[in-house]
Amino acid sequence: MNIAVIGTGYVGLVTGTCFAETGNDVTCVDIDKNKVKKLSSGQITIYEPGLEKIFVRNEKEGRLHFTTSLKNGIKDAKVIFLALPTPPDEDGSADLKYILGVAKDLGTLITKDEYKIIIDKSTVPVGTSEKVHTAILKSAINSQGIDISESFDIVSNPEFLREGVAVDDFMKPDRVVIGTSSERAKKILGELYAPFVRQGNPIIYMDEKSAELTKYAANSFLATKISFMNEIAQLCEKVGADVDMVRKGIGSDERIGRRFLFPGIGYGGSCFPKDVKALEKSSREIDYDFKILKAVMHVNEKQKLHLVKKIKSYFKNDLKGKKIALWGLAFKPNTDDIREASALTMIEELTKAGAKISAFDPEAMANVKKEIGNIIEYTETQYDALNNADALVIATEWSEFRTPDFNKMGALLKDKVIFDGRNLFDLNQMEECGFHYESIGRRIITNNN
């Protein structure tokens, strides 16, 4: 099938590459000239495990193309995926300017004697399909003077991939949600997605509005789980319980499940913060007070600063001249994405308080440098960051941080002090190694310094 993907970021590039992998001819469109140039010359633009290999193969085999021209990109495409940004507006609602802008452009390009399916993969509020439909129709009338209502259908097909495991998630999704009232579109998309659901995971067909809401409901529910566990962790710290034990105790209940019960330093990334905000805002717009979501956001904001509070308290509110080593900058492991990463919030607070930071992240340092420049030091290895530092702070649970050389760490650090926002280490081990160790929702290990 000929496919166009408009927007070649995390979702668009994975989507385009994975559809090429199942034999489709895919053209990815992006307005970012540098990105298109890089991709066209065989260079990948994001770090995502497993993506580069299939990207290179499909590009070499001529199934994957890149262009800045929407007109050329959609020329032969039967299906057009929109994988465009939907960032939060100032008031928290999803900004649809990218989606509706492209819809308008599509209206100038779609003709009467063809059939195309426009598929929204971006995360968008309920009712967006209708808006896209209207925008395309209106623009066709204004620009071409024709009614193209028979020439296209709109589908809402939210994407559930997780950065870090995006290729696996796309190739073997738990489910595919297809929201459309068009039987013709249903059939074509069923065929397109068939190779991805061979193991029996469902394609769930529904109306457009339910599909749009499904995505927000999924992300908001997961964010709620995180904030809930972060509150349980706070309680644990106050009453002397161990959140790891509580997590295991509740996770073994099938109704609760083991996943997504890890406390930490708050959720970040390009999706949870903006999607929870957008669902709360769109609920308010229709006079519904979504109380749980307000609490979820409030808890998360506080949690992002929880470790900073511990650090300040340990250093008796005097961080001037202190050197803090920071392991992890990405909002989660296996990605170079730093959007709304808790590490950035901590950097801001710690540097404001006068601390100097030396940081290491396996993939995200270039992106952080682009955003905040050299206000922190970036090191070659995780151990270099520790050199003469007053404490180590862990912000991202990259696997290489899980079993480090504690003797080496102790020797490099000025003081054997660790603040662990991801509960990576065993408390007994920390005690044996003589570290002062503070984590989330567990007892403090003190080396009586």
Ligand X SMILES: NC(=O)c1ccc[n+]([C@@H]2O[C@H](COP(=O)([O-])OP(=O)(O)OC[C@H]3O[C@@H](n4cnc5c(N)ncnc54)[C@H](O)[C@@H]3O)[C@@H](O)[C@H]2O)c1
Q: Applying CB under 6 A, which residues contact ligand X?
A: 6-12, 29-32, 35, 83-86, 98, 101-102, 122-123, 159, 161, 163, 270-271
By beta carbon distance, the residue nearest ligand X is: 9
Would residue 390 be called left, alpha or beta, if left means φ above 0 and alpha means ψ between -120 and 50 degrees?
alpha
Closer of 216 and 435 to ligand X (Cβ): 216
CA neighbor of 372 nearest in space, from 409, 335, 326, 332: 326
Closer of 32 and 231 to ligand X (Cβ): 32
Closer of 171 and 232 to ligand X (Cβ): 171
Amino acid in the structure at residue 400: E
Phi, psi of 175 (to 5 degrees): -160, 160
CB contact at 8 A, 332 and 164? yes
Query: Measured from the CB of residue 284, what is the shortest distance to ligand X in angstroms?
Result: 20
Q: Provide Rg for the chain, Cα atoms.
A: 24
CA distance 233 to 247: 9
Active site residues: 271
CA distance 375 to 356: 8
Query: Cβ contacts of residue 230 below 8 Å, gap of 6+?
Result: 263, 264, 266, 299, 300, 303, 306, 440
CA distances from 34 to 41, 66, 255 (A): 11, 11, 48
Closer of 164 and 441 to ligand X (Cβ): 164
Closer of 85 and 127 to ligand X (Cβ): 85
CA distance 109 to 129: 19
Please give the helix or strand (H or E) that residue 79 lies within, else none. strand 79-82
Structure tokens, 298: 């409030």
Closer of 95 and 431 to ligand X (Cβ): 95
**Would strands 79-82 and 116-120 be described as parallel, antiparallel, or unpaired?**
parallel
Query: Measured from the CB of residue 219, what is the shortest distance to ligand X in angstroms?
Result: 8
CA neighbor of 142 nearest in space, from 112, 105, 114, 117: 105
CA neighbor of 154 nearest in space, from 177, 131, 173: 131
Task: Give the sign of the dihedral formed by CA 67, CA 337, CA 10, CA 103.
Answer: negative
Please give the helix or strand (H or E) that residue 64 lies within, else none. strand 64-67
Closer of 237 and 361 to ligand X (Cβ): 361
**Three-state DSSP class for residue 153:** strand
